[in-house]
Amino acid sequence: MTQRAGDWLTQAKKDLEQANSSRENGHHEWACFIAQQAAEKAVKAIHLDLRQEAWGHVVAKLITELPEEDQPEARLIEKARVLDSFYIPTRYPNGHPEGAPFEHFGPLQSEEAIEYAGEIIRFASDQLAGD
């Protein structure tokens, strides 16, 4: 089987660039969603590097499914939970009682999402570099 962990991590980093671009252009809902996607891809890269299959989109769950010795501190899992909260409501109008997604997300949320995704990507980079 071809090892693709590096490709997943590279795409995670590229996604984080897009999240920053979306934030700069005032598309905070997309910045939050893409940040979540970047973190998801980074954690999946770790799983691939460990020759494990990883399914699903819940970043916190993907992290806790890593072998115990490869898991980060609990605080990073909490940050993953914040990112997971951006998976659906940033894209679908029925994710909120009323209003379109863009009306519910602003600079505060996108800044936090990008920061947290960056921390998860750095964690993944360190894990892959430690091989």
Residues 10, 116: Cα–Cα separation, whole Å: 17
Q: What is the pLDDT of residues 65-115, one digit of tens each?
A: 999 999 999 999 999 999 999 999 999 999 999 999 999 999 999 999 999
Domain CATH number, residue 24: 1.20.120.330
Q: What is the pLDDT of residues 33-56, one digit of tens each?
A: 999 999 999 999 999 999 998 999
Number of structural domains the chain divides into: 1
Whether 131 shows a pLDDT value over 70: the answer reads: no
Q: Which domain holds residue 123?
A: 5-129
Is 0.75 surpassed by the pTM of this model? Answer: yes
What is the residue-wise DSSP string for 47-86? HHHTT----SS-HHHHHHTS-GGG---HHHHHHHHHHHTT
Whether 1 shows a pLDDT value over 70: the answer reads: no
Query: Is residue 39 within 8 Å of residue 16, measured between CB atoms?
Result: no
Other CB atoms within 10 A of residue 35 CB = 33
